[in-house]
Amino acid sequence: MNGLVKQFRHTFIESTVNLIPILLIIVGFQLFVFQSMPENVISICIGFFIVIIGVTFFLMGLEIGIFPLGNNLSSEFLERKSIFLFALFGFALGFSASIAEPAIIAVASQAGEISKGALDPLTLRLIIATSVGLITAFGIVRTILGWNIAIIIIVGYVIVLVVTYFTPPAIIGLAYDSGGVATNVATVPLIVALGIGIASALQGRSVLKDGFGFVALAAITPMISIQLYGIFALGSDFGTEAIEFVAKVEDEAHYQEGFTIIKVITDLFKTFLNLVPIIATILIFQYLVIKKPLANISGVIFGFIFLVIGLYGFIVGIKLGLFPIGESIAGSLVQMNNVFFIYLFAFLIGFGTTMAEPALVAVIKQADKMSSIRLNVTIIRLLVAIGVGFGILFGAYKIVNGYNIWLLITILYSIVVVLTIFAPKQIVAFAFDLGGVTTSEITVPIVTAFGIFLATNIEGRNVLMDGFGLIAFASVFPMITVMSYSIIMNLKK
């Protein structure tokens, strides 16, 4: 028990330090750019504190429950020597994690609302979940058989870019963003743990080279499937008509007024329901297929309890603190009509939210812990955060100037393909996964709201066509920064 309390204290301090960049960015803009403080400063501070608590519980849940569970499941399936059953479990796990993913639900709902029902949110969620399930199954087979992940990923991105050429322009940004949100807080920890577990259990496998790549693959397939849906189900003329959409700014008072014990319990139960498909999948395969009781069952139970509390803390804290101040700053920037401050805020908010991303911290630490190569956790986090910052800045530049997303994405992924050829083979899969991990629970809501807000308030922009796409840029730039750094370090050696 003392060890658990000590670990909680350490994680709480770490989570607080991780959120400081966001706080500094917001305070800096309010004091030095707008020269005022927001009226709802108290609720914003409360929101930040709740987010810190949420991040702490989330990281604890991963460490004591989810990562060990993934490793144990990998070992059990490998002992049975049935690739088919393991792949079937991978499909079920990927599908169940994605269909319940809060960020996927949010983006699909926004797309449905913006398109006035032309895009059905449930259909989008089913397409994404099926894609993630199939590619998780493929990733398990790939890791067991030792296929080259770099070649697979390059071929995947080539297919993405070719399909994009034929996709209705209004769908492209949504498709790329779907790839980003598919690799999110409920999905990433489990599939990363599976990959690491397989690579650790098989002789001659490298954790970095063979254990990673699941997240990158899970990001590619929704991009392809959503675009194919646009081509064959919606048609080339979809979204060409002007779409009027007013971004909703929810008043944080709405959350304060209903903040009762009963509402807290109800919302916690709703958060738990998001994880029920994942828990059900694990239990069904564990007891009906593997036919063994769960190892470290108390750790798994506590892990999921902490995960539920953490996710709930995210939701409440973000709505109370991050959403209102983010929308307030974005609105003030548009009214100032000064693109320099829009770009500066875009970079800083990308950098700050990434430094605070709990899934990113957890994955890098797990890679460092399980790999034979020692990784500089701080340097990698900074590289990823800088990459996301430039990605959001680049996306904001595209919205402000109305550039074609296909051309920009093609150029960026072409750079990624070239870097893949020269980067150390050990780091390629890890770098690709980091691009997917960055678009998680804190980053996605703020970045999506920022993009839609910009497209809504800039004359001549189509919200569906221009408002989405920021997450895609936020995913690709970290791949560039991490691989570029690894190439430079390799040359120095």
Nearest to 144 by CA among 218, 82, 68, 220: 82
Half-sphere exposure for 179 (CA within 13 Å, toward CB): 33
- Confirm if 139 and 182 have CB atoms less than 8 A apart: no
Q: Which among 308, 316, 312 has a CA at the least distance from the CA of 278?
A: 308
DSSP 273: H
Residue 62 DSSP SS3 = helix
463-485: burial string, b at 16+ Cβ within 10 Å, e else: bbbbbbbbbbbbbbbbbbbbbbb
**CA 186 to CA 80: how far, in whole Å?**
27
- pTM for the structure as a whole: 0.73
Q: Please answer whether residues 44 and 316 qualify as being in contact, where contact means their C-beta atoms are separated by less than 8 angstroms.
A: no
Contact 443, 473 (CB under 8 A): no
All structural domains of the chain with their residue ranges = 66-291+323-492
Query: Which segments of 177-268 are extended strands (E)?
Result: none
Residue 465: per-residue pLDDT: 63
Q: Which residues contact 401 (CB under 8 A, 6 or more apart)?
A: none
pLDDT score, position 250? 43
Structure tokens at 423: 């980067």
Give CA–CA dist 190/206, Å, rounded. Answer: 19
Predicted confidence pLDDT, tens digits, the chain (493 residues): 667 778 778 778 877 777 777 777 777 777 777 777 766 677 777 877 887 888 788 778 877 777 777 777 777 787 777 888 888 888 988 888 777 666 677 677 777 777 777 778 888 888 888 988 898 899 888 888 888 887 888 888 888 888 888 888 777 777 877 777 676 665 677 777 778 878 877 777 777 777 777 777 887 888 888 888 888 877 665 654 434 433 343 444 444 445 567 777 777 787 777 777 778 888 888 888 888 887 778 778 888 888 788 877 777 777 776 666 666 776 777 677 778 888 888 888 888 878 777 677 777 777 777 666 667 777 888 899 899 889 888 888 888 887 777 778 788 888 888 888 888 887 888 888 887 777 665 666 667 667 777 777 777 676 666 666 777 788 889 889 989 988 988 887 7
Residue pLDDT, tens place only, 430-484: 888 887 777 665 666 667 667 777 777 777 676 666 666 777 788 889 889 989 9
C-alpha neighbours within 13 Å on the C-beta side of residue 414: 8
Query: Residue 417: is it exposed, middle or buried by C-beta count within 10 angstroms (0-12/13-18/19+)?
Result: middle
Amino acid at 91: F
